[in-house]
Amino acid sequence: MAVPTFLRASAHPLRWRLLGELARGDRQVGELTELLGERQSLVSYHLGLLRKAELVRSRRSAADARDVYYRLDLARCATLLEAAGGALHPGLRPGPAPAPGPARVLFLCTGNSARSQMAEALLRDRSGGAVAAFSAGSRPKPIHPDAVAAMAARGLDLSAARPKHLDEFAGRRFTHVITLCDRVREVCPEFPGHPAAAHWSMPDPSAEPDGRPAFDRAADELAERIAFLLHTLAAA
């Protein structure tokens, strides 16, 4: 993946300082040299690179044509920054997440008693049911009551959820398989069709000493991750 233009152009301490000064107003090269405490030849060289990237523009002074003013093209910076964010992750583009296309997402953790169940419920809810969400575990155990309470506080009902072994989904096709704990990642089986695989390394809230708050933290982290996942699913 090519490095976006804005990052290539600005990823130098002196160029970043030049951009910062020019963001405040137009400057002559002599002024920039004094402000930055650098040699004029060095400042001119880096200004040239910023001009080549079309982040900085220049014009002759109307008072004295021997003088040149440099200005920052803030509108182009905004466009390139948006493109840089979108190149890293579609969720960094401005605006709400577009509607996701057809997707089948399987969340896995060891017990299928908290993290994966919460993720399944959150994705189904946040996608408005457009995404088929499932969950399972390598060693299933009953749904933890604090997971049910944490979801109830967010308007989601897990009281009827049942734990499922990942073998129940053997041979079924998914577009994405997401492991939520480090142990299940080590034993995650292959699924038909080579679904996109991702790992979210999250601690088991039932192993945390503070009880219910750990489940709320897990729910908050999952909600944040799923908000970005929706952008990924829409882009796919």
Residues with catalytic annotation? 109, 181, 188
DSSP H helix total and E strand total for the chain: 9, 7
Task: Please report the DSSP string for 73-117 in residue order.
Answer: -HHHHHHHHHHHHHHH-GGGSSSPPPPP-SEEEEEEESSSSSHHH
Structure-token pair, residue 27: 């400057």
Q: Across the strands, what pairs with 135?
A: 107
- Residue 129, classed as helix, strand or coil, is coil
Q: Which residues contact 208 (CB under 8 A, 6 or more apart)?
A: 214
